A and B are shown apart, each in its own frame.
Chain A
Amino acid sequence: MANTALPASEAARLEPRRGWYRRNEIALTPWLFLVPGIAMFSIYVIIPIFQSFWISLHEWDGLGEMTWVGTANYERLLFDDRKFTVSFWNNVKWLVLYLLAIPMGLFIALFLNQTVRGIRFYKSMFFFPFVISQVVVGLVFSWFYLPREGLLNAILVFWGFEPVNILGDPSLATYGIIAAGLWPQTAYCMILYLTGLNAVDPEQIEAARLDGAKGWKMLWYVVLPQLKPATFIAFVVTIIGALRSFDFIAVMTNGGPFGSTRVLSFYMFEESLSEFGFRMGYGAAIAVVLFFIMLVFIAYFLWSMWRDEKEARR
């Protein structure tokens, strides 16, 4: 028995006849396990990021030779492209308004955090828009908004309001699409908060209650601090969701009316694979700009996770 209690490294030293692999097993195994994953991830994710930078410095139709143009694509983007400006500001709108999903999700989670009969059914039904594909959600909302057949206008007219053609009006269309996007995103935030609320320490709540805290004060000073991990994740997924918004726009308006609902991700797609010929270089340049916007957030997320890792090690 004494022999088996030796640490693995000791055992390896005592048995010099074992093969090279056996002697270095602990050092080698992780790399053998990592190779397939790292290979796939590098080929399809890491390397393409750098390739996109390279392509963005060229003019390229995707088939023929690439022509070096230096920073010309970027100069055109930043100083001479109204479509880019519109897309950029729409992205900002998406970012800001999409964050409403977090308080809305919290509100619904608080509403549903009870133990009445059938509450589990209600929780699943409230969550269920998140499971449906964004394409279908987009279609559902575009029919909901239809000027003649849509339910929204049927309700508006019933209450004596003027019908509105949300997706046909350049000043409203983006907001209509964001509202559609908020629907599943709110459901996601809700489920995060429901899980978080489940883990809130009941003793702290009771203690605070004895001290006379209730309502908003209780929420703000006692409950929300305990929901911090849920809020962090809700923040991460909402920001990423906002910057990735593509499906809704492609399905609901295809960028229109008059290009008023384009965002960078959609504009990039349009330029690269448009019917007027492929402008891959220009598209890649738009993607690089989007990447840098995202990088600000990615850096922040990674930094927070890194900090947690360091704490976990101690």
Chain B
Amino acid sequence: MFPTPLEKTSRAWQLTYQGLLPLALLFWLLPLIAVAVFSVKPDADFTNGNYWGVPSSFELISNYGRVFFDSDMPRYMLNSVLITVPTVIGAVALSCMTGFALGIYRFPGNLLIFFLFIAGNFVPFQILMVPVRDLTVNLGLYDTKLGLVLFHIAFQTGFCTLFMRNFIRALPYPLIEAARVEGVAEWRIFVFVVLPLMKPAIAALCVLIFTFIWNDYFWAVVLTQGPDAQPVTAGITAFNSQFRAAYHMMSAGSIVAAIPPVAMFFLMQKHFIAGLTLGAVK
């Protein structure tokens, strides 16, 4: 193990390390802690200039209550859910199929198609912006959730295909051969042999795509406007102009907006990290 395991080091360093850990974490999360402190302060503290002192009263419930009952925040959150969940389902479904086709079969153009998916996934969004916006307007889907969902599914298919194909590649191939010899139809091999083995990959992709799409901002401002379809990342700017300079409210609002992916991460940590670090180990 590198660096030297703590048990094999001097007593002094062991104690220093134990003390250093919480301090380092505190320092690392400082900006976030600042926001959390802001979000429970009363309005009066900001007018009195008591920014960093002890809150004069603890306003957790009233501040967060106002976020939920006194603003468009719940609508934006709901929009985010209605955009994110269908995208996750769509992108994962499409990429299970593309991953299966590219991972199992040998045919001319296989690698070419695979690399096209990877390359498209690296492209800067901006080069897609004008044509995709135009297409969405022409389809009558501008400022709708469906317009965003369709684009997200298509774009995420690139990354998901890379992920799925490499995962399927690592499955034991004799399994598929055995099924073929038994005369099992190809689509049944997909449904009954490959899909059940892909569960961990599907779980990992679901959490990853959920986080990516929930956190998307660029496409939200390009393809939607207003509280009917905008997700929470874009809605937060409208929220902030409603509570201009009311830092306690803006802080509470951003914390609420950030919670779903954070909760997803802490609940599905193993899958999340497995997905994110795919390929980091050979």
Closest Cβ–Cβ distance, residue B182 to chain A (whole Å): 6
B237 within 8 Å of A (CB atoms): yes
CA A305 – CA B115 in complex, angstroms? Answer: 9
Closest Cβ–Cβ distance, residue A118 to chain B (whole Å): 8
Asked if residues B128 and A132 are in contact (CB atoms below 8 Å), the reply is no
Asked if residues B131 and A143 are in contact (CB atoms below 8 Å), the reply is no
Give the chain B neighbours of A134 by CB distance below 8 A.
Answer: 215, 217
Give the chain A neighbours of B190 by CB distance below 8 A.
Answer: 33
Asked if residues B6 and A136 are in contact (CB atoms below 8 Å), the reply is no
CB contacts under 8 Å to B, within A221-252, are: 222-223, 229-230, 233, 236, 240, 243-244, 246-247, 250-251
Q: Which one of A69-77, A78-86, A93-101, A287-295 is at the B interface?
A: A287-295
Asked if residues A132 and B261 are in contact (CB atoms below 8 Å), the reply is yes
Asked if residues B237 and A251 are in contact (CB atoms below 8 Å), the reply is yes
Asked if residues B124 and A244 are in contact (CB atoms below 8 Å), the reply is yes
Asked if residues B2 and A205 are in contact (CB atoms below 8 Å), the reply is yes
A265 within 8 Å of B (CB atoms): yes
B224 within 8 Å of A (CB atoms): no
Q: List 15 A-B contacts (CB under 8 A).
A: A30-B101, A41-B157, A45-B158, A132-B261, A132-B262, A135-B233, A135-B236, A154-B52, A192-B280, A198-B281, A219-B2, A222-B2, A236-B122, A273-B222, A287-B126
Interface centre among B113, B237, B273, B280 (most CB of A within 10 A): B280
CA A44 – CA B236 in complex, angstroms? Answer: 27
Closest to A9 in B: B180
Give the chain B neighbours of A144 by CB distance below 8 A.
Answer: 30-31, 34
Closest Cβ–Cβ distance, residue A225 to chain B (whole Å): 12
Give the chain B neighbours of A150 by CB distance below 8 A.
Answer: 34
A89 within 8 Å of B (CB atoms): no
CA A291 – CA B3 in complex, angstroms? Answer: 41
Q: Which one of B17-25, B55-63, B196-204 is at the A interface?
A: B17-25
Asked if residues A136 and B122 are in contact (CB atoms below 8 Å), the reply is no
CA A202 – CA B215 in complex, angstroms? Answer: 38
Give the chain A neighbours of B105 by CB distance below 8 A.
Answer: 26, 29-30
A positions within 8 Å CB-CB of B = 4-8, 11, 25-27, 29-31, 33-34, 36-38, 40-41, 43-49, 51-52, 55, 62, 110-111, 113-116, 122, 124-129, 131-136, 139-141, 143-144, 148-151, 154, 183, 188, 191-193, 195-200, 202, 205, 214, 218-219, 222-223, 229-230, 233, 236, 240, 243-244, 246-247, 250-251, 264-265, 268-269, 272-273, 280, 283-284, 286-288, 290-291, 294, 297-298, 301-302, 305-306, 309
Give the chain A neighbours of B250 by CB distance below 8 A.
Answer: 139, 143
CA A111 – CA B132 in complex, angstroms? Answer: 44
Interface centre among A40, A233, A243, A302 (most CB of B within 10 A): A40
B279 within 8 Å of A (CB atoms): yes
B11 within 8 Å of A (CB atoms): no
Asked if residues A26 and B122 are in contact (CB atoms below 8 Å), the reply is no
CA A200 – CA B21 in complex, angstroms? Answer: 23
Give the chain A neighbours of B151 by CB distance below 8 A.
Answer: 44
Given the known interface contacts A135-B236, A191-B276, the answer about A41 and B124 at a Cβ–Cβ threshold of 8 Å is no
CA A125 – CA B119 in complex, angstroms? Answer: 33
Asked if residues A140 and B17 are in contact (CB atoms below 8 Å), the reply is no
Closest Cβ–Cβ distance, residue A209 to chain B (whole Å): 8
Closest Cβ–Cβ distance, residue B7 to chain A (whole Å): 8
Given the known interface contacts A126-B25, A133-B215, A141-B31, the answer about A38 and B129 at a Cβ–Cβ threshold of 8 Å is no
Asked if residues A139 and B25 are in contact (CB atoms below 8 Å), the reply is no
Give the chain A neighbours of B157 by CB distance below 8 A.
Answer: 37, 40-41
Closest to A278 in B: B130
Number of interface residues of B (CB under 8 A): 102
* Other 19 A-B pairs with CB < 8 A, given A45-B155, A144-B31: A6-B181, A25-B186, A37-B97, A45-B158, A49-B120, A116-B17, A124-B266, A129-B32, A133-B261, A135-B217, A139-B236, A192-B280, A196-B281, A219-B2, A243-B124, A246-B126, A251-B237, A284-B130, A302-B115
Asked if residues B281 and A113 are in contact (CB atoms below 8 Å), the reply is no
Given the known interface contacts A44-B151, A114-B17, A133-B215, the answer about A265 and B111 at a Cβ–Cβ threshold of 8 Å is no
Closest to B29 in A: A125
Asked if residues B24 and A111 are in contact (CB atoms below 8 Å), the reply is yes
Asked if residues B31 and A151 are in contact (CB atoms below 8 Å), the reply is yes
Given the known interface contacts A229-B279, A287-B126, the answer about A113 and B51 at a Cβ–Cβ threshold of 8 Å is no
Report B233-275 CB contacts with A as 1/0, cut-off 8 Å: 1001100100000010011001001100110111001001100
Given the known interface contacts A191-B276, A195-B281, A287-B124, the answer about A136 and B130 at a Cβ–Cβ threshold of 8 Å is no
Given the known interface contacts A125-B25, A133-B214, the answer about A4 and B124 at a Cβ–Cβ threshold of 8 Å is no
Closest Cβ–Cβ distance, residue A268 to chain B (whole Å): 5
Asked if residues A154 and B51 are in contact (CB atoms below 8 Å), the reply is yes
Closest to A52 in B: B127
Q: Which 6 A-B pairs have the closest CB atoms?
A: A133-B215, A44-B154, A48-B131, A37-B98, A30-B101, A33-B101
CA A269 – CA B21 in complex, angstroms? Answer: 42
Asked if residues B154 and A55 are in contact (CB atoms below 8 Å), the reply is no
B64 within 8 Å of A (CB atoms): no
Closest Cβ–Cβ distance, residue A97 to chain B (whole Å): 18
Give the chain A neighbours of B2 by CB distance below 8 A.
Answer: 110, 113, 197, 200, 205, 218-219, 222-223
CA A174 – CA B236 in complex, angstroms? Answer: 23
Asked if residues B32 and A139 are in contact (CB atoms below 8 Å), the reply is no
